[in-house]
Every structure is written in structure tokens, then in C-alpha cells.
Amino acid sequence: MQTGLLHLHNLLRWIILILLVLSIYKSYIGMSSKKPFEASDKKTWLFTMIAGHITLLLGLYQWLLGRYGLLSYVKAEDTAGANIDSAYLRFFQMEHPISMILAIVLITLGHGMAKKNVDDAVKYKKAFRYFLLALVLIIVAVPWPYRVLVGRPLFPGM
């Protein structure tokens, strides 16, 4: 089950990235063309946030109870990984989770602009900034396959 959940966590990355790029594009268009805020913008932002929250939930599970989970991983008992690099553990136990939690908070704040009682231009502008910052954080903190030490496959089980 743990592997299945990790595969889901891996796959959701693509859903988040696609929806986030779409949210950024739509808020940029709204911001630059000064058009009124639309229901379709709100929906895109909501789906982006839901994808973020589901990934967060799956990530929290991996973080606490996964193979390298803070509560489940005991270095001395892990014979296969006894020589595991501390930079590797630091990435999956600290850098990745903390950056991603921050990114998901930013996505939630971006979506929250849809409900704020402010001018549409302000909604678009602030949401654009939150989403863009979240995208940068995610791109930096994903274990892309080319990354030394922490690289992981682009798709589950590859």
C-alpha cells in the first residue's frame, strides 16, 4: 500500500504542475487585460488547491510513516540502506516536505483571493504572485531524475 500511495504522490505532481501553470496563466491574463473575475478562474484555482491538499495528505503520510518516515525509519535497522547518505535523508525528511508545505500554503492563499472582497485586478495580481512563488518552490523541491543523490523517476515505478 505504501508503494501505491507513493505512486499516487508522484503522479499528482503532474496534476499540480498543469493546474498551477493554468492558474498562473489565467491570473496573468486577468491581471493584464483588466477583465472581470470569472467563475472559470475560481474553479481552476479551486482544483489547483484540491490537488495540492491531496498531495499534502499523501506527503504527510510518507513523511511520518513512509520508508524514511520520521516515526517509522530507524537507521540502524535498515540493513539495505545502512550507508544511506545523510544529505539524502535530509532532503526527504526536511527540505522536500518543508518547501512543499510552504508551496501548498501559498497555493491555498492564492485560491483564497477568489473569496476576498477586493477589486478583481487585486485578486488577479495577488493570486498570480502566490501561484508563481509556489511554482518556483515546487520546481526547486521536486526530486527530478537528474538530481544528484535524491533523483526519482518522472512517473511512478519507472
Q: Catalog residues that contact ligand HEM under the rule CB under 6 A.
A: 6, 9-10, 13, 16, 46, 50, 53-57, 59-60, 62-63, 66-68, 92, 96-97, 100-101, 103, 108, 111-112, 138, 142-143, 152-153, 156
Contacts of 153 (CB under 8 A, 6+ apart): 10, 145
Closer to ligand HEM by CB, 28 or 88: give it.
Answer: 88
Closer to ligand HEM by CB, 34 or 43: give it.
Answer: 43
Rounded CA gap, 129 and 109, in Å? 10
Sign of CA dihedral 16, 19, 25, 28: negative
Least separation, in Å, of the C-beta of 33 and ligand HEM? Answer: 26
Closer to ligand HEM by CB, 111 or 126: give it.
Answer: 111
Rounded CA gap, 141 and 153, in Å? 14
Closer to ligand HEM by CB, 29 or 84: give it.
Answer: 84
Give the distance from CA 148 to its chain's centroid: 20
Closer to ligand HEM by CB, 34 or 145: give it.
Answer: 145
DSSP letter at 138 equals H
Rounded CA gap, 6 and 61, in Å? 9
Least separation, in Å, of the C-beta of 119 and ligand HEM? Answer: 19
Least separation, in Å, of the C-beta of 37 and ligand HEM? Answer: 15
Q: Give me the residue whose beta carbon is nearest to ligand HEM.
A: 59
91 CB neighbour count, 10 Å cutoff: 19
